[in-house]
Amino acid sequence: MAALATPLSAQSVPVPPQSVPVPKPAPKSRTQLSASETQRGPSVTGTTQTQPPDPVIPDPRRNVPSSIFTTFDANQKAQAAKVSAYLSSLQTLVGNFVQVGPDGSKTTGDFYIQKPGKVRFEYNPPTPIEIIADGSSLAVRDRNLATQDIYPLSQTPLRFLLSDRIDLMKDTNVVSVTADDVFISVTIEEKQALVGTSRLMLMVGAKDGQLKQWTVTDPQGYDTTIAVYNLDTSKKVDPGLFKIDFTKYPTSPG
């Protein structure tokens, strides 16, 4: 994600959070993309194909306040409500994605969403990863090793994208709402006692109101960004895409 903070392992042993949908490599130095170098992600419905966008990488030096809810003005609350209404309106969503890891590496693939609670991310070769959520569990699968790790969907920020209905200002801890001519950005903070604080920043188009990308910041401060494009909200999705196979892909040992 699709990225999002990974919960505890099946043995309830604290592990460092990592991005979902793909495990992150060790962070290295990276170069911040300038505004002129970033391509604002295109918004397409139907079957029109566009070129992959360059994800807009957040400034790694940014420092979001822990809580500024009481300072939100009417316009910020209206922008958050607009994003909430858009996310709640989605029932199916199919498209392509570009993921940028904390070391600057890029991976691409296709994704399928069926609300509530179901998603599949398929990464293009040579990345062997697939991410599948069946409504209650989320599996991170490695096709090469024929193994998968299972997490409760409720413990990953993916649930915000997959919820049937969501009110960001009511159901989450929103710490920032910003808007310009290109994006509306909403940042959600999550605090977990054993693993620390993570953040999810959702970005939708200011003009068309469609999802453009999201960035997950893990408790160590490392970002994983996923930009989406070629979005189609009318395509029927095969329910079989969201089945977690526990026979061919047994859960990997802890």
Dihedral of CA atoms 77, 42, 4, 76 in degrees, nearest 10, equals -10
Q: Mean of the pLDDT values across residues 60-88? A: 79
Q: What is the pTM of this model?
A: 0.75
**pLDDT tens per residue, range 82-134:** 999 999 999 999 999 999 999 999 999 999 999 999 999 999 999 999 999 99
Triad 237, 204, 116: Cα angle to 5°: 35
Given pLDDT bands bounded at 50, 70 and 90, which one contains residue 253? low
CA distance 239 to 176: 36
What is the phi-psi region of residue 246: left when phi exceeds 0, alpha when psi lies from -120 to 50, beta otherwise?
alpha
The confidence score (pLDDT) of residue 187 equals: 92
- Cβ 95 vs Cβ 229: under 8 Å: yes
Q: Where are the alpha helices (DSSP H) in the chain?
A: 74-89, 158-162, 168-171
* pLDDT at residue 37, as a whole number: 37
Query: Tens digits of per-residue pLDDT, 13-48?
Result: 333 334 444 444 444 444 333 333 333 333 344 445
Our CA dihedral for 18, 21, 27, 28, rounded to 10 degrees, sits at -170
Calculate mean pLDDT across residues 200-213.
94
* Residue 195: predicted pLDDT: 73
Report pLDDT digits (tens) over 158-171.
Answer: 788 899 998 998 88
> Distance between CA 197 and CA 188 in Å, rounded?
11
